Amino acid sequence: MRFRIILIGFCTLLLIACGGGGDNNSSDPIDISGRWIAACYFDAESNDYTNEQYDFSGNNITTSFESFTNSSCSGAPYEQGQASGTYTLGDIVTTSGGIAVEFNGVISIDNQTVEVFDLIHVSGNALNWGVFIDDTTRPTAINFNEPYNKQLDGPAPTLSNGLKIFATSALHVGDFLNDPFLSGQNAIEKADSFCSQDLSRPNNSAYKALLIDGIIRDAKSLNDWVLLPNTTYYRASGDIEIGTTTGLAIFSIIFQDFSTSIDDRQLEGLPQGREWPNNAWSGVTDLTDYTTDGSRNCSNWSTSSDFSQGIYANTDEKSSNALSTNGSVYCGAKLRLYCVEQ
């Protein structure tokens, strides 16, 4: 996203498309806090080369750019500028290039205030904005031609060496089967697809959903089961141990808590209406063998009806609630998923 400051009426060509609303959400599910730099990239819109920087802190954003006519960005820039403001993150959306988050900003430029709207995609230490359409339309695709790299104050978080489990940043209703944006022949395969598309996926390994229907994915029969026996699993980074499975390829969490929670991000605090951002769909009724109750797994994860229910887990706990609270929520609610590296 080129931050060239051009005011057109009450809009601005920031390569953030103006117009549209957005669901204001001040959480940081994609970890954009910090400094992001795009060094001397070719800007096709202006036919020049640009250094650009963004700083995110809390809900504040500052940005600056320098533009050059030469590909090494050397010498004095022929144009430069800066701006600052506030931002919120809105809905998580699916694009042809993957999952992105709606970005909504209020930016001060030359003593004027404008609203700006975009898409933002973060994968590890790389950030991408949306593909500019025009000054009245929010982008619908991710621009992978202009990557921004995170400037780290210290060493980058190290990817855990062992097998990993993460909780998705995105939320989903209990119906995976009928989601047209997910690939797969059944609800479980589509839940796996949801894991593969998520912004929090730490690497390119295959990940499968820790989601049970007792038929296609079943711990007791080990049918398409996602955990290995006698194996230690870790958080995505830092080699932080979560727990070790038994010979039956399950966590014996009713007898021994996890060493740490699978995820400790508080995305929204307590459940807000249909969104339960600190909970994950589970389906586990009995933690002694990970069997499921067919009446509480959203009809094998095929319905979002408020008259059906699904069992959920608490993503930020270490106790047995981390895998199953044995409580249920209506299937039209939006929760996260646990995803296990294969």
Look up residue 213 and give its two tokens.
Answer: 């229907």
3-state secondary structure of 77: coil
Residue with tokens 């975009």: 118
User: Cα–Cα distance between 276 and 283 in angstroms, integer?
Assistant: 16
pLDDT one-digit tens code per residue, 162-211: 999 999 877 899 999 999 989 999 999 999 999 988 877 888 889 999 99
Place of tokens 């895998």: 323
Q: Report the percent of the chain where pLDDT is more than 90.
A: 40
* Cβ 296 vs Cβ 309: under 8 Å: yes
Q: pTM for the full model?
A: 0.60
Helix (H) or strand (E) holding 328: strand 328-330
> How far is the C-alpha of 299 from the C-alpha of 280, rounded, in Å?
17
Per-residue pLDDT for 21 more than 80?
no
pLDDT tens digits, residue range 36-49?
888 777 777 778 87
DSSP 309-327: EEEEEETT-SSGGGT--S-
Q: Which residue has the tokens 């030359």?
A: 110
CA distance 342 to 339: 9
Closest listed residue to residue 325, CA positions, set 280, 274, 271: 280
pLDDT, residue 335, reads 93
Mark 7-19 as b/e (b = at least 16 C-beta within 10 Å): eeeebbbbbbbbe
Q: What is the 3-state secondary structure (H, E, C) of 100-121?
A: EEEEEEEEEECCEEEEEEEEEE
Given this model, what pLDDT does residue 245 score?
98
Read off the pLDDT band of 60 (50, 70, 90): confident
Confidence (pLDDT) at 265: 61
Question: What number of other Cβ atoms are within 10 A of residue 236's Cβ?
Answer: 21
Instruction: Provide the pLDDT for residue 9.
Output: 28
Name the more confident of 70 and 335: 335
- Summarize pLDDT for 116-168 with one digit per residue, the tens: 889 998 877 788 888 887 767 888 888 877 778 887 665 556 788 999 999 98
How far, in Å, CA of 233 to CA of 287, rounded? 18
